[in-house]
Chain A
Amino acid sequence: MSISLDIKRSKREKSISADGYPESVALEVRNLNVYYGPFKAVKDVTMDIYARRITAMIGPSGCGKSTVLRCFNRMNDLIPGARVEGEVNLHGQNIYAPDVDPVEVRRRIGMVFQKPNPFPKSIYENIAWGARINGYKGNMDDLVEESLRAAALWDEVKDKLRQNAYSLSGGQQQRLCIARAIAVRPEIILMDEPCSALDPIATLRIEELMRELVENYTIVIVTHNMQQASRVADYTAFFMVDDSRTGYLVEYGESEQIFTRPKDKRTEDYITGRFG
């Protein structure tokens, strides 16, 4: 490991949430700009992601919310021509610093994708693989059970761990993907429209699961669904897109405030369904 991201947690900033408890910052985003080749996709995003809270990013299509999310674990590195400016600090360490290995970043900041994408392997192997490649030495059976329990999937699959993951329903597959992300013990889980391919009941289960997971994890979710954001998220960030198709952050605050007393006219127009 090139440089340890385990820098003392004292650098965390403190802010006070509405209920009076101090929030600790999990991820500090500072002046983030993203380019795809000459195209500027996102400009000047500055926000704090709070630990053990769910933060939702909403906004119209093309506003860069998914792009911003993918910056949080350097998934954009995989896109040829993508370039990121600014800082994303995890415990005071900029994950874009030249001596930080993106592979290590992605282990610590996991991701769940829009479409359930389990590996075409057994349910067991889906969970175990990530742990194994990251050098997990403990009892694998325990880890698999623990992860599946945490993703509220254990009871449904405990008798068929050796079956192919594709035998599961879409909602189960998505929870398997969440279990798979949990198995490598990340601090933050990024979810890119995790329910957009699921039916309402499966969606509800994922939302319930998110509320359980937030006890131990920091969750950032991108969603098209404003009801979903207002239901599950503690904080909500509203993004918009300007005339040159560059996305930017309009307003960020507690969900309750964003959805009931938005400060910005554009936020109000969006959440009341006047555009988007």
Chain B
Amino acid sequence: MTIDAQTFAGQRSHDEAFSAVNKEQLQRRHQIGKVFELLSIASIMVGMLFLIVLLVDVFIDALPWLRPQLFTEFPSRFPERAGLRSALQGTLWLISLTALFSFPIGIGAAIYLEEYAPKNWFTQFIEVNIANLAGVPSIIYGLLGLGLFVRSFGLGRTLMAGALTMALLVMPVVIVASREAIRAVPSSIRQAAYGLGATRWQVVWSHVLPMSFGGILTGTILALSRAIGETAPLITIGALTFIAFDPRGPFDIFTVLPIQIFNWVSLPQKEFHDLAAAGIVVLLVVLLSMNALAIYLRSRFQQRW
């Protein structure tokens, strides 16, 4: 009885202490929340607005030039006869070859670092350097490609040299993305497999790789979609701007979309500027389809565990 009364009295005094500030203070808290929300909306709007303005502007310029000839014609000094046939093919060749080189090597490196490498200073040294490589300006890779692939390996200004350079460029990103995907595989799965008498290779091949494949693929495609827009390293290794034939294979000289766009923009005629806009639209479409593929693959391979 007395205890009840005491508790009740204590409860009341608490209520009084709070109720004095309650209304006003609560309103202020809500106001601060509202201000923060509006600031956040404003932040996203800045980015969205610029993107929309950019896209609309490009589309308006590009629209008259988005016609079949754009894809069937080679570059020309007459805008009405100019197209990006060789550049689009060059880009597709380059990206496929880059994927071919960077995907297996990148996954291999990621598997080694995650599953095999001992945790010592040397591994750490490698890890730090991979992270650093991801931040190296792309033109440095271009210079490396020029010295190594174009000159030392004697590949010349070919697709092969370009793809190898690009592979070096995207490799750090592929490795980092693959490592993250591999690390996301719960260790309980590895333990279960080891507990059955599996060798390390069997664990990796049957469980770790299939379970991380979606993430690896997504990371690789996103890395490649970065490479697709790269211009500097390819200009450095000497990809040409005027290619009036289809590339016949990996050892042919080539050009790519960004270089073609750059070339058109640097010409004086207004028509070429609009052609460049059309080129940008094509580049965007290629890029967005790659990202869409990445999203599709991610959802396709998504696993529950």
The interface of chain A, by Cβ under 8 A from chain B, is 73, 75, 78, 80, 103-108, 110-111, 113, 115, 117-120, 129-130, 133-134, 166, 177, 180-181, 184
Contacts and interface: CB of A to CB of B under 8 A. Distances in A.
Contacts of B199: 103, 133
Interface of B: 118-119, 186, 188-199, 202, 206-207, 211, 303-305
Nearest to B303: A120
A133 B206 contact: yes
Contacts of B303: 120
A129 B196 contact: yes
A120 B211 contact: yes
B194 A80 contact: no
Contacts of B194: 75, 78, 106
B119 to A, nearest CB: 5
A103 B190 CA distance: 13
Nearest to B201: A133
Contacts of B305: 120, 166
Pairs A-B, 3 closest by C-beta atoms: A107-B197, A130-B196, A111-B195
Nearest to B211: A120
Contacts of A129: 193, 196, 206
Nearest to A80: B119
A119 B192 contact: yes
Nearest to B185: A120
Given A103-B197, A130-B196, A134-B196, A119 B207 contact: yes
B206 A181 contact: no
Given A106-B194, A110-B196, 10 more contacts: A103-B197, A103-B199, A104-B197, A106-B197, A117-B186, A129-B196, A133-B202, A134-B196, A180-B196, A184-B196
Contacts of B190: 78
Contacts of B195: 73, 75, 106, 110-111, 113, 181
A177 B192 contact: yes
B301 to A, nearest CB: 11
A111 B304 CA distance: 23
A87 to B, nearest CB: 21
A117 B196 contact: no
A130 B207 CA distance: 12
Interface centre among B191, B303, B304 (most CB of A within 10 A): B191
Contacts of A104: 197
B202 A78 contact: no
A104 B195 CA distance: 10
26 contacts: A75-B194, A78-B191, A80-B118, A80-B119, A103-B199, A105-B197, A106-B195, A107-B196, A107-B197, A108-B197, A111-B195, A113-B188, A117-B186, A117-B188, A117-B192, A119-B189, A129-B206, A130-B197, A133-B198, A133-B199, A134-B196, A166-B304, A166-B305, A177-B192, A180-B196, A184-B197
